[in-house]
Amino acid sequence: MKISVAMAYYNGGTYIEEQMDSILSQLGEKDEVIVSVDGASDGSKPLLLKMAEVDSRIHIVKGPGKGVVRNFENAIRHCNGDIIYLSDQDDIWKPDKVEKVNYAFSNPEVKAVLHDAEIVDENGVATGAASLFSIRGSRAGILKNLLKNSYVGCCMAFRKELIPIICPIPNEMYMHDYWIGTAAEYMGKVCFLDKPLIGYRRHSSNVTQMTHGSIRFMIKKRIDIIRCLGLLKKRVRKVKA
């Protein structure tokens, strides 16, 4: 079972070496890390190229320059593995992450796996805050996740059979992770692992935030999502036909 790691990269030089080391130590010789680079104006481009030169499992691809959702989609489209892991550029994978997630995929009905995360500070030190599952009340269910999303991308992995369903991601989808998680629910089961398998790093440059937007924004967001679900159902029916 070949693993692909899809990483969206943008000016991540501060933490990328620690994150990449935590990933590569768990991968096999035939696995791959696809790094879609939307920008490296922080001077990190030579570092990325050097890492790819040293380890042939790292593949650097040019990002579309249209934001995090399109950048992740671009990385996913370049993946060749049976299982695609999503990864941020600044977290830290726990040493048993791949082992635990891969085992969950031994059930053929499982189309995606979501695991818990430990909140850490910019130095990678646990903050003592509640885990991500506790904060979000994470569990399966299309309606539940429409109201409060459990699907945090950096904690997700999914089967390659979902790629023709999730790509292209509609413009109205604000984040890729809810879209992928919901597609997995339509196709089969999502396995939730209660164990924290990454250090979820929070710092001043995070793209995603722990807080919500305004009430007006949240209502519009959910209306847009509901409209997109019709398209998702059509894609699922087409693949299953």
> What pLDDT score was predicted for residue 203?
72
pLDDT in the model for residue 46: 97
| Cα–Cα distance, 3 to 23 (Å, whole number) | 11
Q: How far apart are CA 36 and CA 13, in angstroms?
A: 14
Amino acid 102: pLDDT? 98
- The per-residue pLDDT of the chain, averaged, comes to 93
Residue 146: pLDDT band with limits 50, 70, 90: confident
Q: Nearest 5°: phi and psi at 6?
A: -100, 115
Pairing of strands 110-120, 189-201: parallel
In this prediction the pTM is 0.92
Q: Domains of the chain: which residue ranges? A: 3-114+151-191+207-240
What is the arithmetic mean of pLDDT over 91-96?
98
pLDDT at position 213 is 61
* pLDDT range class, residue 148, cuts 50, 70, 90: confident
pLDDT at 205 over 60: no
> Span 186-200, mean pLDDT?
97
Lowest mean pLDDT among 54-68, 85-99, 161-175, 211-225: 211-225
Which percentage of the chain shows pLDDT scores above 90? 81
Q: Is the pLDDT of residue 105 over 90?
A: yes
Comparing 217 with 68, which gets the higher pLDDT?
68
| Cβ–Cβ under 8 Å, residues 72 and 61 | no
For tokens 């904060």, what's the residue?
A: 135
Q: What is the mean pLDDT of residues 168-179?
A: 92
Query: Amino acid identity, residue 89?
Result: Q
Q: Please tell me the predicted confidence (pLDDT) of residue 175.
A: 86
Residues in the chain: 241
3-state secondary structure labels for all residues of the chain: CCEEEEEEEECCCCCHHHHHHHHHCCCCCCCEEEEEEEECCCCCHHHHHHHHHHCCCEEEEECCCCCHHHHHHHHHHCCCCCEEEEECCCCEECCCHHHHHHHHCCCCCEEEEEEEEEEECCCCCECCCCCHHHHHCCCCCHHHHHHCCCCCHHHEEEEHHHHHHHCCCCCCCCCHHHHHHHHHHHHCEEEEEEEEEEEEECCCCCCCCCCCCCHHHHHHHHHHHHHHHHHHHHHHHHHHC
Q: Average pLDDT for residues 111-125, to the nearest whole number?
A: 96
Q: In this model, does residue 60 exceed pLDDT 90?
A: yes
Q: What is the pLDDT of residue 62?
A: 98
- Residues 6+ away with beta carbon under 8 Å from 231: 170
Q: Which of 27-36, 201-210, 214-223 has the lowest mean pLDDT?
A: 201-210
Contact (Cβ atoms closer than 8 angstroms) between residue 233 and residue 182: no
CATH no., domain 3-114+151-191+207-240: 3.90.550.10
Average pLDDT over residues 177-191: 95
Residue 204 has pLDDT above 70, yes or no: no
pLDDT at 20: 98
Q: Is the pLDDT of residue 206 over 60?
A: no
- pLDDT for residue 226: 87
